[in-house]
Amino acid sequence: MIYLDNSATTKPYPEALETFNIVSNQFFANPSSIHGLGGLSEEMLKRSRTQAAELLGVKPSEITFTSGGTEGNNLAIKGVALSYSQRGKHIITTEIEHAATYNAFKQLENAGFEVTYLPVNHKGRVNLEDLKKACRKDTILISIIHVNNEVGTVQPLQEIGEWLKEQRATLFHVDHVQGIGKVPLNLKEYGIDLCTISGHKFHGPKGTGLLFVRGGVSLSPLFSGGSQELNRRAGTENLPGIAAMVKALRINLETSKRHLDDLKCLKNKMIRSFETNDDLIIHTPAEFSAPHIINVTIKGIKAEVLVHALEEDDIYVSTKSACSSREGGASRVLLAMGIPEDEAAHAIRISLSLENTSDEIDRFLDIFNKKINELKSVMG
């Protein structure tokens, strides 16, 4: 099997699954219980929070464990909107956000908030000047995805963060789900107030994630219930999942330090091959893009047809975002980049992980080219 759909989800590390099983068996008590077993679970939770904070360079009190990227984005965006609505009801995002962010803003629009959707250029990048013009005295939040999940474009967060440090009334949220372990992000240096990551994007278990909330930032909880997670997220903590996610985060960040350049080489190998084929249109920009995502259109071949053709040889890629892949029509992200609808409707996404090898990419490229030729001969 050659798995190249890592932006949708990654295969869990064996060590993370082992941690999940150990914590499930030995720390099964509720961390909120006052007896001894509950105390042991509480200590494990504190240890996991401290380790996560150390890995991200923040304080333990700034870590809120969630069920993943969707909850993290919703908690950050809606939590800030509800908590700071007396200060203003204007919020800013981009036209190429993940559905979890984009639809959260659509919901807030229906609740009376005014949302500005920043346009992007043909590379999928926002313009800092557009952001400056859009920001107002009543702007309470700016939310921008770090690495676009469909094309891999990296946004200029450092420049945005530096400028926003002067706008003290405006909070800065970053969706770092696709960037973690692939594109470094300094939360403190970039002036980020809230940041979302998801466990299953870096070989942790599904249903896990965390939200960084800078000290002093107020959030209105989405769930009514107990006082778990520093009163930000009610509900009994998924302790096995949390511990396994933190283990995966540590392994992934350590592996990234050693092998990130190898990942870049694999992507460049595919790009060079694609550039020699006149039937291919590459949508991922050569610059300002993450090392693990390539988005490409094959002229005259439906994306779904190619995906299933590759699956016959045990190779797995995808069309657009997994959250939106079952929806018909062209990608909203590609259309926002100015890509013609017929090209956008035929695009596939190839996404790597640090686990992929050069031999796998060689085999993929060989089969990929053969499948294209076979499909072209059948179709015309």
d(CA 237, CA 215): 21
Domain end among 234, 251, 268: 251
Catalytic residue among 135, 195, 265, 323: 323
**Does 380 reside within a domain?**
no
Per-residue pLDDT tens digits for 222-250: 999 999 999 999 999 999 999 999 999 99
**Which distant-in-sequence residues (6+ apart) come within 8 Å of 258 by Cβ?**
none
Q: How many CB atoms lie within 10 A of CB 159?
A: 12
What confidence score (pLDDT) does residue 317 get?
98
Task: Say what the pLDDT of residue 321 is.
Answer: 52
Q: CATH code at 22?
A: 3.40.640.10
pLDDT value of position 56: 98
User: pLDDT value at position 326?
Assistant: 52
Position 224 in a domain: yes
Q: Is there a single domain that holds both residue 229 and residue 271?
A: no
- Report yes or no on 34 lying in a domain: yes
35: pLDDT strictly greater than 60 = yes
pLDDT of amino acid 151: 98
Residue 90 has pLDDT above 80, yes or no: yes
Q: Which of 10, 45, 35 is nearest to 240 (CA)?
A: 45
Decide if 265 is catalytic. no
* Domain span including residue 370: 2-7+259-374
Q: By percentage, how much of the chain surpasses pLDDT 90?
A: 94
| pLDDT, mean of residues 180-193 | 96
Indicate the number of domains in the chain. 2
d(CA 39, CA 58): 25
Sheet with 347-351: strands ordered across: 280-282, 293-298, 347-351
Could you give the CA distance from residue 197 to residue 182 in angstroms, rounded to a whole number?
12
What value does the mean pLDDT of the chain take?
95
Check residue 264 and report its DSSP letter.
H
Confidence band for 327, pLDDT divided at 50, 70 and 90: low
